[in-house]
Amino acid sequence: MANTLLIYGSLTGNTEGVAYKIQELLRSKSKEIDVKNAIDADLSDLTGSYSGFIFGCSTWDDGLPASDFNDFIERINTAKPNLAGKKIAIFGLGDSNYVHFCGATTIMEKTFVTEMNGAKIIETLHIDGYPDMEENQAIIKNWVEKLAELID
């Protein structure tokens, strides 16, 4: 089993594509991660044996996480699992033409780092516009290169 679980929320597939790209890039660095759609994620994913988590989500509706990810947060929020000692990395997709650019990343940081005590190990990645753009592919690759050194 992998040591790190990536949970993503994606409405039109952009974040999903980035999630699997991150898995592919990490694999090329000999780091294996599991990937899960937030629709299928629940409390037991966070309280199991993973030593780290990567959370990724796009922003919709004036700064909110994609609805599937929002529902996941609601499912775990009553239990508020303690993520102390767990390594946390966060990425978000959005569009800087919106007022609340990548607002979902602020909510993910509040939820998993501030409220659940997870240890943020890397600066949060913000992807502006289509992830397939050359510039964004380079940003993702750079981030993953750093991340590979930090996760188990």
Ligand X SMILES: Cc1cc2nc3c(=O)[nH]c(=O)nc-3n(C[C@H](O)[C@H](O)[C@H](O)COP(=O)(O)O)c2cc1C
- What does the per-residue mask of binding to ligand X show for 15-34, with x meaning CB under 6 A? x-------------------
Cβ distance to ligand X smaller for residue 100 or 120: 100
Distances (CA, A) of 134 to 18, 70, 131, 137: 13, 29, 8, 5
- Rounded to the nearest whole angstrom, what is the least distance from the CB of residue 46 to ligand X in the complex? 21
Q: Name the residue with the smallest CB distance to ligand X.
A: 94
What sign has the CA pseudo-torsion 98, 96, 6, 37? positive
Check binding of 136 to ligand X (CB under 6 A): no
Check binding of 63 to ligand X (CB under 6 A): yes
d(CA 2, CA 16): 19
Check binding of 125 to ligand X (CB under 6 A): no
d(CA 88, CA 112): 8
Among 5, 93, 116, 147, the residue binding ligand X under the rule CB under 6 A is 93
- DSSP 3-state assignment of 21? helix
H-run or E-run covering 60:
strand 52-60
d(CA 50, CA 87): 9
Among 94, 108, 122, 124, the residue binding ligand X under the rule CB under 6 A is 94
- What does the per-residue mask of binding to ligand X show for 33-62, with x meaning CB under 6 A? -------------------------xxx-x
Check binding of 66 to ligand X (CB under 6 A): yes
Cβ distance to ligand X smaller for residue 83 or 127: 127
